[in-house]
Amino acid sequence: MRLQLRVSVTGRSAWSHPTTCCSAAELMSVLFFHTMRYKATDPRNQCNDRFVLSKGHAAPILYAAWAEAGFVKEADLINLRKIDSDLEGHPTPKLEFVDVATGSLGQGLGAACGMAYTGKHFDKSSYRVYCMMGDGECSEGAVWEAMAFGSHYNLDNLVAVIDANRLGQSEAAPLKHDMDVYRRRCEAFGWNTYVVDGHDVEELCKALWQAQQVKGKPTMIVAKTFKGRGLKGIENTDNWHGKPLPKDRAEEAIKDLESQIQNPNKTICPELPNEDTAPADLSPITLPSPPNYKIGDKVATRKAYGVALAKLGQSSPRVVALDADMKNSTFSEMFHKAYPERFVECFIAEQNMVSVAIGCATRDRTVAFASTFAAFLSRAYDHIRMAAVSESNINLAGSHCGVSIGEDGPSQMALEDIAMFRAIPTCTLFYPSDGVSTERSVELAANTKGICFLRITRPELKVIYDPKEKFEVGVAKVLRQSDSDQVTVIGAGVTLHEALTAADQLASEGKSFSWWPGRELHHCPLVAWQGITPLPPGGLAGNYTTAPWWPGRELHHCPLAAWQGITPLPPGGLAGNYTTAPWRPGRELHHCPLVAWQGITPLPPGGLAGNYTTAPWQGITPRPPGGLEST
C-alpha cells in the first residue's frame, strides 16, 4: 500500500507511468522486503542480491521501493523526471541501486543472465538475481534468446517475474491473461514455472521461497495482475499507459490508499546478504609477455586477438570471454582452450551475447570480451547503445570486417561497423593493422573505461611494428615521412597495407607522401583523424606541416571531405591550415564537428568534384590525368 501511495504521489508528474507501477506493487514489496537480501545503505555491495527492472518505464515503483528501504529520500520522489533529478523516467546507473539501464524493452533478462552466470560460475557466491519483466516486452525475440541461455546453463540462482497485467501501450498484450500459454512457453524453454495471483502477497511469498529451493533450473514466476491496480476508475482500463493522473483522481487515490494503511510508521528491514563475495579487483591488466612477432611476419589480426586474449587470461582471473559460435573464426577458441571455465558460449544469439556481457561486467566483477563477425554486431546495435547508457565496460571484437573477406559475399562483410560504433558515446574504437598493434589494442581495451570495439580482419597482414613499440589510445604513428611529401594519408587495418603499397609505387616514380595510421572508416583510405579521442598536440597542422590536406574515398555512402575528429577544428579551420583543400560545411554528426557532406540526400549535381574544382582525386591509385601536380 505504501509503495502504491508513493507511486500515486509521483503519478501527478507528467508521463510517470503510474498504472504500470501499480500492477507491480505487491511484486516489488515481496521482492524487496521479504525475499531479497541486501544492504539498504550500500546498494552496490558485491554481496547483495541483484535486481533488474527490465520494464524500465515502471521506474517510479523502483524508486518507491528504495525510498521505503530508506536509501532514497521520500521528498525526492516528487522530483521524478525533473531535469535536475537523477530519478529519470527510466532507471540508469547514475543511481547506485541500478546496475544496468533499461527502457529499451526485452534486454533486462539477458543482463540478468550475465549477472547470474557470473555469480554461479565466476564469483561462486550465494547472491541471487531477480528480474522484473512486462508482458508486452515478451514479444521481443531477445527475451527468448535469454530464456534459452538461462536454461542451457542451469542458472538456478536466477528468478524472473512477468508482470502480466494484460494491457500494453496501445492495446492488450498478445496473450492477455492466458496464463496457461505463458506457463507452457516458459516450461518449454526449460524454466521452472509458477503461475500466481500477482496481487496475493502470501502466494507471492510462497512462490519466491519455492524458487530458492529449485536446483538446476532458473525460475519464472508469471503473475496475473491488473494495470492500474488500486486506482478507481482506471484499474484494468485501456488508454492509461504512461499518462499522469488528473489532479482530482490523484488526490482521490492518495486518500483512498492512506485510509487502507494500518500502520504507516512500521519499518521493514531487508535480510542482510551472506558475506561470501570478494571486492572487485580493479588493478591494471597487462600482457605477461610482449608480442612474439618479427617485422615482415604475416599474421591475421583475428588470430593475434585470440593470442592476446589468452595472454590476458593468464594475467588476471577477471578476464572472461564470450562468443556467438564463432570461436574458431574469431580465435577466441585460444582463450577457451586455456581457460574453459571462464569462456561463455552464447551460440548464435548476438543480442543476448551483448546483454550477457553487460551483466557479467556489472559491479566490475569481470573484464568481458565478446566476439563474433563484426557484421553480425549490427543485429545487437540497440543492446550496444544501451550498454553505453548503462556505463558498461564491455569489449566487443568484430572479425571479418570490410570487403577483404571477398568470396563470402556482402552478408558477411562489416561495412557499417565503424560508423555504428563511432555514434556510441564513451566508445573507444581500435582498428589494429598488424599482430603487434592488435595485442596492444586488446591490452588497452582491458584497461579502458566504457565500450571498446576491436575491428579485426581475416586475411594475414605483414607485421609492421617492432614488438617493443608503445601504443596509446588516440595517438597516431607515422610510418612514412619525408621533406618532399605532397600529401598526408591516414587510415588503418587492411587499408594501411594497400596505402603503403601505393606509397612504394609513387616513391618509385619520384613522388612521396607521409602515411599516418589513424582509424579506418568503411574500407577506404582516409585523410582525417578517425579516432574518438582528441588529436595529438598541434593536430594535423602541427605534426605534418609539409603535407596538404587530401580527402579519401567515399565512406559509408557518404563522400567525405572531412575533418573527422571529435574535438573542434584547429584555429582557422581547414581553410587556414590546408589552403589547397575545399571546405564544404555539412551537418553535425553526434556532437562531432564535421566538414563533410553529411546529408542523407544525394550530392548536388556534379558531386563535390563538379562543385569544387579544386577537390583532389578520391583514391590513392590510379591517379587522375596529370597526376598529383595538376591537382
Residue with C-alpha cell 498504472? Answer: 19
CB 569 within 8 A of CB 593: yes
Neighbouring residues of 277: CB distance < 8 A, sequence distance ≥ 6: 46, 47, 123, 125, 127
Question: In the chain, helix, strand, coil percent, each to 5?
Answer: 35, 15, 50
CB 229 within 8 A of CB 23: yes
Give dist(CA 70, CA 370) in Å, integer.
38
Give dist(CA 193, CA 221) in Å, integer.
6
Active-site residue list: 350
Neighbouring residues of 186: CB distance < 8 A, sequence distance ≥ 6: 147, 193, 220, 222
- Indicate if the alpha-carbon torsion angle 32, 119, 274, 285 is positive or negative: negative
**Edge-to-edge strand ranges of the sheet holding 319-323:** 343-345, 319-323, 367-373, 394-399, 452-455, 428-430
C-alpha cell of residue 420: 555504428
Give dist(CA 118, CA 116) in Å, integer.
5
Give dist(CA 37, CA 43) in Å, integer.
11
**Distances from the Cα of 409 to the Cαs of 327, 329, 400, 405, 577, in angstroms?**
20, 16, 11, 8, 41
C-alpha cell of residue 6: 508513493
CB 115 within 8 A of CB 359: yes
Give dist(CA 401, CA 354) in Å, integer.
18
